[in-house]
Amino acid sequence: MLLGKLQKRFLCTYAAAAANQSRRQWPTVLQVTKTNFTEALQQLEDHVHSSDFISVSLRNTGSYSSSWHRLLPIDTSDTAYFKAKYAADRFQVLQFAVCPISVRSSKLISHPYNFHLFPRDVLNLGMPSYTFSCQPSYLTPMAQEGFDFNACIYDGITYLSREQESLSREKIGNLVPSDYMANSISTPSVADSIFSERIRSRVKNWRKAFNDDSCTKKTEEALIKSLQKLMLGSGEYSSRPCLSIDVCSDRQVQLILEVLGEFNDFVPMIVPAKGGGAQAVRIVLTSSEEDKILFEKELQSQEKEQNKHVRGFREVIDLISTSEKPIIAHNSLNDFSFIYSKFIASLPPTFDKFKSSLLLNFPYVVDVGHLMKEVRRHLYTTPDMEISRGGSDGKTLGLGSNAVRIGEIFAKICSVMKVNPESLGKSKDGGLKSYVNNFDNRRTVSVKDLVFIWGFKKGTSAQLLKKILCNSSFSSHDEEAFSDIRLLDKSCAVVAFSKPGSSECFLKAMHSSGGLLSAASYGTYSKACQMGMWEVDLADALDRAVMLDGHDLSGTHLDDPSEIIWDDDLMIDLDDL
Amino acid sequence: MKLQWLVVRALSRTLTKPSTVSTSRFFSSSPAPSPDFAIKNVTRQNLDPVLADLRFLIKDADFVSIDLEMTGITTAPWRDSFEFDRSDIRYLKIKDSAEKFAVLQFGVCPFRWDSSNGSFIAHPHNFYIFPRQEFPADSHFHDEFLCQATSIDFLAKHHFDFNLCIREGISYLSRAQEEEALRRLHEELADPRSGCSEFGEKPVTRVVDILFSEKMKCRIQEWQKGFSFEERSNDLDKRFQTVFFKTRPALQLNGFTRNQLRLIQLVIEKHFKELVYIHTKGESASANHYIVYADTDIDKNLLMKEVKEDVHKEAILKIKSAVGFRRVIDILCSEQKLIVGHNCFLDIAHIHSKFFGPLPSTALEYVSSIHNYFPYIIDTKILLNANYALQMKMKKGSTSLSKAFALLCTQISPKIEELGLVFNPHVKVDVQVDDMRSSSWNSGAKHEAGYDAFMTGCVFAQACNYLGFDFNLHPPSGNLALDEKLQKHVNLLYLSWINCDIINLTTGQQMAESSLSPSRKFPSSKIVFQNIIIIWGLSSTKLKARDIRECIAKTFGSTSITSVYHLDETAVFVQFSKTEFVSKFLELKERLTRSNSPISVLHHMTKLFESGKVHAANYEIYKEICDSPLSKVMFADQANAVCTTPSSTPNTSIIMDFMAEDVVDSPYAVEARCSK
């Protein structure tokens, strides 16, 4: 919704210019499900490589489940991250729109894709997500817009995060071509050498038998084969003879591999047991040196296919990540919390760790939302013009068109700021430098000057609260003590003090008065977010945090006393609560 | 393909022609044009007409079978039911499931004996329901539900229509939620500020605002003059529309921003004694704003009262309509009919939490609450396992619903097999949907709640036959549940199918199934819960049950361990042969992990704890962990979260009591729990 507004404001001039050239056509969004994923991925690869930047947009199963859980004007980067993390941990991504965009002679060329996702547990390991949350109040408007849930659930592409992929390797029973383990066994015991000797003779016999067999008569072959299979565990693997030897420890695997090192026409593969470890070693007999190389190549490509299958949609993320192109998002903190938690790894406990780890994967992220705020002044100077888009408005653009819009807004901003989008990736010191990877808020008010109060009757207005506080004994000696008071939800309000130190006095006064109202410093709020006390009412969450921590009178609880934005634009409209 | 098309066709029919439904039940013997008509699908589009009909069908029914499709079963793998789960834990696990997951489909199928035809008539209904929030402004009803990926995938494989469910599913309010909504409404009405809108007293300072206010003042004055001279002012401004509000002349305000409306209200309050600013929330979410003329104070008060009453009435209507699907449940309750389900403990728990109120904390309270609402419930799974003749018929195999249906209801079931073996005459079941009736109906959609409910009812009818009912000779009269042949099966539900734990809804007693059906195999060894410890944080792949057993046996003796059982890859239950080993183990664990003495390095058990993240606790802690609203996928994560979160300030006194009673020494268990 907000996006729509932004777009309206931003696209006008841009589109008007474009409309002069030709009637602007929206590119059709390629809808991708598991049936056309492979082809789409190949196409996308080309488009990504030739693009100047890539815009992304996500559709999830929910956003925030209580009014105070969303980003509030009082949130610092840390508390904002905790909120984003809370959402990303629970909700699911249903659609992931990717739009590689290139600018050629001031013309935008965009190739929008809309990937449908569903966390299908193909490996039967409870991954990528065992359960996920849905928010009916979020899904209902999506359904009214015509969102196709069936397409996602029936044909959505599954995925594993990088972390999950390595976890799954430990667990699933794929054949793993063994790398000869370099470290040989230090001191072989008697049992070890007996075992090795037994394996050596068994393998020798088998190979001999096979070689004899192949040159003699081929009658009774079927019978012999089945007997062999039964008695010796021999069979065929990709039309080559093979032998399986059961093992009961990693040590035995190592011993077998050592023995096999003495032969040069064997390729050993390890059959992993469910729950880790090895269950058997499968030895494949190749007919020649060339055949051996051929077979090893076969195995490699097989593994590649398998990996592709396991990673699923994450291939797209890896592609974007390795391309190192600028990524444009509208709500980067939220979107990238989702991207990180679904496709990279579990979200780290702090914002700083998240940011540094994210930057390793996505070195160049631009948030059009933040950018917007910064360049708003420029845009007020541009005249508002209606845009004609061949009679189609936002709703009929089809699913996944948000990424296109974000991309176009960004292109517009670039043109306003006289930044050449083509040079974005190459030189990072363009005009946008200060906006890149900016997940933080602009800072204006120190959180030390904020006090949370609750315990009043639900539905009390901020004005009434202000009156109560003005008449209280505390403020009698300082009329202008607090600059503002705002409701955060129906249960809790925040008071901003204008003089440093007065928040502490206020807190002290509140605690000694013992009235019905409770008060706490920003540290308590921060604690509630950090500890995941996501009660429906903020008042309840703060009560819990106070119980945990005791009253924190000093207000200096924070290690790094941050400042937050105190912006009238972000004033909470109680109608939205 | 053809089948899908049929379903779609029939669905569109039920959606588009809801009004023709109501007469159908009177033509009970109309011939069936085709046995393949679709099931009765119910969405919010046709709820009202269907309900009018269903009310009578239920009233006339001899029993009603039900079935639910949910968005999931277990919120974490370890929340599945284990042999080592005591019955109170089993209840906690079911409670967790019913609280977290949503119901998407609800099958209701009333069965009535038709003497003239010598058959039951079944009326399968398939309700799509969705927990849509009808009070968007109200954050009180925490709207969020979990989906288990595999369950959703399962529904998709059976062609569940998620789009239809989310778009057209019927919403609902539980009784508790309805009461709460009404209570808040009354509270709001008692509040003197309600009715008129409150914009607050923020002073008007901005120049734009002052200008706007002045302009509005003139505009309203003009209007006031205008209507006192002539009825209609020829107003061209679309933003002002002269209308009548409660028989008083009024000016409707359109297309103003919130701030502008606030300014207009301030102007009215300040300068116009005889005008009242009123805003109403219409049927659609958009609000209407009026300036109403009321010349005297008496009239003004009257007006305000009228407006308030309107608001009240509308709010009550809104709550009543938000009750939605619960009206079906209310009919089932008020008719006190025999309810038939298949392995339905979880289903009933869902019904309680969604339509009555929050689930009580203990099984006993829950059971008495349910018994209050549904005095007669029969579980066909219990029935099938309790009767020897039925057991034989089922060939002692699985008692899953589809299998039971295939074996017992051969003439209804599409799989016609072994006709020669059918000795017992079958109970005939005809299906009626609207005016179509068939004796060999097969909608084909298994795992659709409506069809599953139908199958459950059919299985029950056949089972009655085996229990000695002859409906042809003695048509069911009065309450079927009171018949002595069913008496010993009524109100028994499986609390746990694996453990064969049965709970009696009438008495609240729990019993082992062995007392009822001697033929089933039961877990051989008895589980002594106070002999159990739970160990978590084991490094996932290295230690197998065998290793753990070995490890502990070296210290406590080879007979010390009765069994070792993996909860998941991060945790195990260890059952000792004697209770005292529990405390000894915990004590030893504490000592070994605390000190780095040579003894601990050499000790056999050190191997168990080498990862440094290993914790151990007694069985009561396991209960606490299950009781937590959290659901981490891995048990170790869950246990660590529960044991460190201050929210679940664990009831230590209970644990200490337990310790004092059963274990001779030391509070090490408590320490172990809290160690980080």
Q: What is the pLDDT of residue A184?
A: 55
- H or E stretch at A45: helix A37-49
pLDDT digit string, tens, across residues A205-251: 877 776 665 555 555 566 666 666 666 566 777 677 888 887 777 77
ipTM over 0.85: no
| Confidence category of residue B156, pLDDT binned at 50, 70, 90 | very high
Shortest alpha-carbon distance between residue A86 and chain B (Å): 13
Q: Cβ–Cβ of B631/A131 closer than 8 Å?
A: yes
Burial class (CB in 10 A: 0-12, 13-18, 19+), A16: middle
What number of CA atoms fall less than 13 Å from residue A78's CA on the CB side?
20
pLDDT > 60? residue B127: yes
Q: What is the pLDDT of residue B473?
A: 79
- For tokens 């002594």, name the residue: B528
- For tokens 């039911």, name the residue: B81
Q: How many other C-beta atoms are found inside a 10 Å radius of the C-beta of residue B265?
A: 21
Tokens matching residue A404: 């296109």
Shortest alpha-carbon distance between residue B243 and chain A (Å): 27
Compute φ and ψ for B122, nearest 5 degrees.
-105, 140
Q: What is the pLDDT of residue A122?
A: 83
Shortest alpha-carbon distance between residue A433 and chain B (Å): 37
Shortest alpha-carbon distance between residue A488 and chain B (Å): 13
User: Where is pLDDT greater, at B86 or A247?
Assistant: B86
Tokens matching residue A382: 């541009």
A-chain residue closest to B130, CA distance: A136
* B139: nearest CB among A144, A276, A577: A577
Residues of chain A positioned with their CB less than 8 A from the CB of B76: 130-131
Q: Please state the rounded mean pLDDT for residues B422-427.
A: 58
**Percent of chain A, pLDDT > 90?**
18
* DSSP state letter for A91: B
Q: Cβ–Cβ of B76/A135 closer than 8 Å?
A: no
pLDDT digit string, tens, across residues B6-59: 444 444 444 433 333 333 333 334 444 445 778 889 999 999 999 999 999 999
A-chain residue closest to B100, CA distance: A133
Q: Cβ–Cβ of A577/B156 closer than 8 Å?
A: no
Identify the sign of the CA torsion A342, A348, A354, A360: negative
Q: What is the pLDDT of residue A577?
A: 30
B-chain residue closest to A135, CA distance: B144
| Confidence category of residue B555, pLDDT binned at 50, 70, 90 | confident
Q: What is the pLDDT of residue B101?
A: 95
| Confidence category of residue B670, pLDDT binned at 50, 70, 90 | very low
Whether A466 contacts chain B with CB within 8 A: no
Burial class (CB in 10 A: 0-12, 13-18, 19+), B623: middle
A321: nearest Cα among A162, A515, A449, A130: A162
Residues of chain A positioned with their CB less than 8 A from the CB of B202: 463
A-chain residue closest to B73, CA distance: A131
Q: Phi/psi class of residue B437: alpha, beta or left (left: φ > 0; alpha: ψ in -120 to 50)?
A: beta
* A126: nearest CB among B153, B633, B645: B633
Shortest alpha-carbon distance between residue B546 and chain A (Å): 13
Portion 263-292 of A in contact with B at CB < 8 A: 275-277
Q: Outline where DSSP puts E strands in A511-552.
A: 518-521
As separate numbers, helices (DSSP H) first and strands (DSSP E) second, chain B gives 24, 21
User: Where is pLDDT greater, at B322 or B654?
Assistant: B322
Shortest alpha-carbon distance between residue A25 and chain B (Å): 30
Compute φ and ψ for A425, nearest 5 degrees.
-65, -30
pLDDT > 70? residue B252: yes
Compute φ and ψ for B72, nearest 5 degrees.
175, 170
**How many CB pairs lie under 8 A apart between chains A and B?**
118
Mutate to test the interface with B, among A117, A127, A131 (most CBs of B within 10 A): A131
Residues of chain A positioned with their CB less than 8 A from the CB of B8: none
pLDDT digit string, tens, across residues B301-356: 888 888 888 888 888 888 888 899 999 999 999 999 999 999 899 999 999 999 99
* A463: nearest CB among B147, B167, B201: B201
Residues of chain B positioned with their CB less than 8 A from the CB of A462: 200
Q: Please state the rounded mean pLDDT for residues B99-125.
A: 93
Portion 35-74 of A in contact with B at CB < 8 A: 61-62, 65-67
Burial class (CB in 10 A: 0-12, 13-18, 19+), A374: middle
User: Which of A128-142, A285-299, A394-408, A523-537 is the least confident region?
Assistant: A394-408
Mutate to test the interface with B, among A134, A537, A568 (most CBs of B within 10 A): A134
Portion 132-191 of A in contact with B at CB < 8 A: 132-137, 139-140, 142-144, 148-150, 153-154, 170
* A150: nearest CB among B146, B162, B541: B162
Residues of chain B positioned with their CB less than 8 A from the CB of A62: 144
Q: Cβ–Cβ of B162/A149 closer than 8 Å?
A: yes
Q: Cβ–Cβ of A67/B133 closer than 8 Å?
A: no
Residues of chain B positioned with their CB less than 8 A from the CB of A129: 149
pLDDT > 90? residue B664: no
List the alpha helices (DSSP H) in B387-501. Answer: 388-393, 401-408, 449-466, 484-487
CB B113 within 8 A of CB B60: no
Shortest alpha-carbon distance between residue B360 and chain A (Å): 20
Shortest alpha-carbon distance between residue B76 and chain A (Å): 7
Q: What is the pLDDT of residue B410?
A: 67
Shortest alpha-carbon distance between residue A140 and chain B (Å): 6
| Confidence category of residue A367, pLDDT binned at 50, 70, 90 | confident
- For tokens 């602007």, name the residue: A24
| Confidence category of residue B200, pLDDT binned at 50, 70, 90 | low
Q: Cβ–Cβ of A276/B163 closer than 8 Å?
A: no
Question: CA B295 → CA B192, B232, B270, B301, B445, distances in Å?
Answer: 22, 18, 15, 11, 67
A-chain residue closest to B200, CA distance: A463
A48/A27 Cα distance (integer angstroms): 16
CB A78 within 8 A of CB A562: yes
| Confidence category of residue B597, pLDDT binned at 50, 70, 90 | low
**Percent of chain A, pLDDT > 70?**
69
Cross-strand partners of B252: B241, B290
Shortest alpha-carbon distance between residue B143 and chain A (Å): 6
Residues of chain A positioned with their CB less than 8 A from the CB of B153: 118, 120-121, 153
pLDDT digit string, tens, across residues A456-473: 877 777 778 877 777 665
Tokens matching residue A308: 């592709």
B250/B242 Cα distance (integer angstroms): 6
Most distant CA pair in chain A, distance: 111
* A149: nearest CB among B139, B166, B202: B166
Q: Outline where DSSP puts E strands in B100-206.
A: 103-114, 119-122, 125-128, 145-148
| Confidence category of residue A505, pLDDT binned at 50, 70, 90 | confident
